[in-house]
Amino acid sequence: MTGPRYTDIVRALPASVPFVGPEVRERETGKAFAARLGANENVFGPSPKAISAMQEAVGDIWKYSDATSHDLRHALAVHHNVDAENIVVGEGIDGLLGYLVRLLIEPGDSVVTSDGAYPTFNYHVAGFGGELHKVPYKDDHEDPAALLTKAKEVGAKLVYLANPDNPMGTWHDGSKIRAALDDLPHGCLLMLDEAYIEFAPDGTAPEIPIDDPRVIRMRTFSKAYGIAGARIAYAMGAPDLIQSFDKIRNHFGVNRVAQAGALAALQDEDWLQQTIHRMAEARDRIAQIAAANGLHSLPSAANFVAVDCGRDGDFARAVLNELIARDLFVRMPGVAPLNRCIRISCGRPQDLDLLESALPQALAAARA
């Protein structure tokens, strides 16, 4: 009796997942978290109009979804002042990253990212046999110049850059990224992850023509729009690149409920602005709580704050584990020196009240 014949790439990969979710932790401990402050979810939730649209769409769930996401793509085109041919909709940025890597990367192809940046991207690159080359962060920021220098050195086909960044929440002015494009090597594509762009200051999004074949931009409805569980996002780029997704994507992967919710969320600007304001208040509160405990927090343009625990990764992990033991779910960066921090997602006032109470206890226990 024999089993399946896995590819050489899959046989060589470790059995792993990019993240351990809060539900896994809850099953391990046998109790629910009092506050989910680790997954960068939007705890304020989606627009009531989006909820209503999704509830209405459930009645037609027996139908397949619109494989072209026509209504949403055209609404996004108006929103961004581009053509619908510049947009593809997918199953979250994670799904779109997988499709992009599949389009471009064959075994042995070089890909450049930052050491400690979004691990799901690396997961896809490894799954298709790409060779990852990493550069360090610079002053807790991704380093565009170093990324592109490394891309030249290794002949990279793809470079990943998040702006604002996860896990640190830092950001670059868009003009800096636009200027860095002049150093992008021939035949290399810049993958610009803008998942948190709605929270960022004006000018963070670089002014790059939508038809520039050197860049693809990805945005999501998971963060500012609050429908992470629906798994829906979109990529914007030159028509030839966007149309290439049709060769390999799951055409019915984005369900009709998600499409209806995203369309309604996009059209509720008032709710979006209210959410952005709430997130800013929560970031300020997290920074205040950190400061009250003698800790430094990094300025953030995302829906989370990286809090420097003041020592090394082992100490930060001890603080994180003590918070988890007190029923607060948080996460931390995976590599030094970023892992001196814990990453705390924005929460409701009652969530941050729990953080305010638990953090001094967790710090005391970790120091002991």
pLDDT single digits (tens) 44-72: 999 999 999 999 999 999 999 999 999 99
Same domain assignment for residues 143 and 90: yes
Q: Of 246 and 6, which is predicted with more confidence?
A: 246
Residue 255: the pLDDT is 96
* Residues 236, 332 within the same domain: no
Contact 335, 122 (CB under 8 A): no
Measured CA to CA, the distance from residue 328 to residue 160 in angstroms comes to 31
Residues 40 and 107 both lie in one domain: no
Confidence tier at 85 by pLDDT (50, 70, 90): very high
Q: Do 313 and 186 share a structural domain?
A: no
- The percentage of residues in the chain with a pLDDT greater than 90, rounded to a whole number, is 92
Q: Are residues 226 and 296 in the same domain?
A: no
Q: Are residues 24 and 135 in the same domain?
A: no
pLDDT higher than threshold 80 for residue 16: no
The domain spanning residue 243 has which CATH number? 3.40.640.10
Residue 36 DSSP symbol = E
pLDDT at 366 over 80: yes
Examine the domain organization and report whether 91 and 140 are in the same domain. yes
Residues 18 and 80 in one domain: no
Instruction: Give the tens place of pLDDT for each residue, 258-299.
Output: 999 999 999 999 999 999 999 999 999 999 999 999 999 999
Choosing from 214, 249, 267, the residue where a domain stops is: 267
Residue 41 and residue 53 in one domain? no
pLDDT over 80 (residue 43): yes
Q: What is the mean pLDDT of residues 14-32?
A: 83
pLDDT over 70 percentage in the chain? 99
Q: Which long-range contacts (CB under 8 A, 24 or more apart) does 360-368 make?
A: 360/293, 361/322, 361/326, 362/319, 362/322, 362/323, 362/325, 362/326, 363/293, 363/295, 363/309, 363/319, 363/322, 365/318, 365/322, 366/309, 366/315, 366/318, 366/319, 366/321, 366/322
pLDDT of 1 > 80? The answer is no
Domain count, the chain: 2
Q: Domain boundary residue among 232, 267, 302?
A: 267
Could you list the residue range(s) of the whole structural domain that residue 103 is in? 48-267
**Cα gap 240→244, rounded to integer Å:** 6
Cβ 105 vs Cβ 125: under 8 Å: yes
Q: What is the mean predicted confidence (pLDDT) over 304-330?
A: 97
Specify the 3-state DSSP secondary structure of 218: strand
Average pLDDT of the chain? 96
Q: Give the pLDDT score at 25.
A: 85
Is residue 1 situated within a structural domain? Answer: no
**Cβ contact 104:189 at 8 Å:** yes
CA 45/CA 223 separation, integer angstroms: 9
* Average pLDDT, integer, range 74-87: 98
Do 161 and 242 sit in the same domain of this protein? yes
Residue 12 has pLDDT above 90, yes or no: no
What is the band of 15 on the pLDDT scale with cuts at 50, 70, 90? confident
Residues 17 and 139 in one domain: no
Residue after which a domain boundary falls, among 237, 267, 297: 267
Are 115 and 63 members of one domain? yes
